[in-house]
Amino acid sequence: MSNTKSRKKIALIGAGNIGGELAALCAHRQLGDVVLFDIPGRVGVAKGKALDLEQNSAIAGNDAKITGTSDWADCAGSDVLIITAGIPRKPGQSRDDLVAINLPIIRDVADNAKKHCPDAFIIVISNPLDAMVYELMRRGGFDAKKVVGMAGVLDSARFSLFLAREANVSVKDVRAMVLGGHGDDMVPVMSACTINGVRAGELISKERIDAIITRTRKGGGEIVELMGTSAYYAPATSAVAMAESYLLDQKRLLPCAAYLTGEYGYKDLYMGVPVVLGAGGVEKIVELTLTDEEKTMLAKSAKSVQGIVDVVKKSA
């Protein structure tokens, strides 16, 4: 028997639109072996996507194994779990409308994750994000440093893209951060937004920035209206950036939904804040100096998140 160290293992809980794209990206970036998990009624989809992607890897020359399953035992020993289990939005629905449907699903996932993958770093994508990641951590009794939610990277990417298009500059040079809850009152932090060090306000008028902020806040909904279901390419890429920072100990500073214990004045709440992600999980929560206007927006966003968390807590 070989005693060489095995590859990393990434379990993707939910083999739908985002799950499939996550598997493709993990294989392409050679992050490790991938397990695509779904409920028994959808195991054919999980297995089929896994097979298609392994054949794709044969062309690309990637050796990672990709398997589909509906048996949690196959996820045992995973280094990373990325959770998309649940139902996505349909046109006209808000993320909060999903709570009743996705809450029992997240509880089922939390129980199984605790049993089979107690040491994994967990990234939650299921919506309503801030409440689902809170419940997963609470229900599973996980170390909060090992459980994060993916929203800020995606919302910041949308914001950066719209700013870059408006200023007619490369998106690579835009530094933008969107904090707070993953809802319509998310907080684009203009005081920390630059185009390679140049304040965005020097290149874009206030009126246009305001329009871009509005479009960013409704960025997910814009896609739901067009496609009839929610986005999957950019959400998957966002979560893989977070997984990679953990697996490769990159210590990237990324906006993630993290468990707050007094930071920014909030306690016992998950919300988007800048964090350093490394081998220790959430190694640091960075506290930015916000303007009074930004603090007010963050308070409004926190109140919305708290409202849904309270609903979740009541039904515990």
Local structure of 224: helix, strand or coil: helix
Task: Sketch the per residue contact string, 129 through 158, with ligand APR: x for CB under 6 A, - otherwise.
Answer: ------------------------------
In angstroms, what is the minimal distance from the CB of 1 to ligand APR?
Answer: 33
In angstroms, what is the minimal distance from the CB of 70 to ligand APR?
Answer: 8
Residue 199: CB atoms within 10 Å = 12
Q: Is the peptide bond before 104 cis (omega within 30 degrees of 0)?
A: no
In angstroms, what is the minimal distance from the CB of 229 to ligand APR?
Answer: 6
Residue 180 gets which letter from DSSP?
B
Residue 174 near residue 209, CB atoms below 8 Å: no
Among 85, 99, 123, 136, binds ligand APR (CB under 6 A): 85
Looking at beta carbons only, is 149 or 194 nearer to ligand APR?
A: 149
Site for ligand APR contains 42 (CB under 6 A):
yes
Amino acid at 229: T
Looking at beta carbons only, is 13 or 35 nearer to ligand APR?
A: 13
Site for ligand APR contains 109 (CB under 6 A):
yes
Q: Compute, in degrees rounded to 10, the torsion defined by CA atoms 126, 24, 154, 281.
A: 70
Query: What is the rounded CA–CA span in Å between residue 34 and residue 49?
Result: 11
Positions in 164-223 near ligand APR (CB under 6 A) = none
Site for ligand APR contains 26 (CB under 6 A):
no
Query: What is the rounded CA–CA span in Å between residue 144 and residue 253?
Result: 17
In angstroms, what is the minimal distance from the CB of 309 to ligand APR?
Answer: 17
> Where does the chain have alpha helices with state H?
17-28, 43-60, 99-116, 129-140, 152-167, 200-203, 206-217, 219-227, 233-247, 292-314
Size (the chain), residues: 316
Among 57, 78, 126, 160, binds ligand APR (CB under 6 A): 126
Site for ligand APR contains 14 (CB under 6 A):
yes
Task: Sketch the per residue contact string, 61 through 80, with ligand APR: x for CB under 6 A, - otherwise.
Answer: --------------------
Scored b (16 or more CB within 10 A) or e, 6-44 reads eebbbbbbbbbbbbbbbbbbbbebebbbbbbbbeeebbe
Mind telling me the catalytic residues? 182
Return the bridge partners of 13, or none.
Answer: 37, 83
Task: Sketch the per residue contact string, 217 through 246, with ligand APR: x for CB under 6 A, - otherwise.
Answer: ------------xx-x--x-----------
List residues binding ligand APR (CB under 6 A). Answer: 13-19, 37-39, 42, 84-86, 88-89, 98, 102, 105, 108-109, 125-127, 229-230, 232, 235
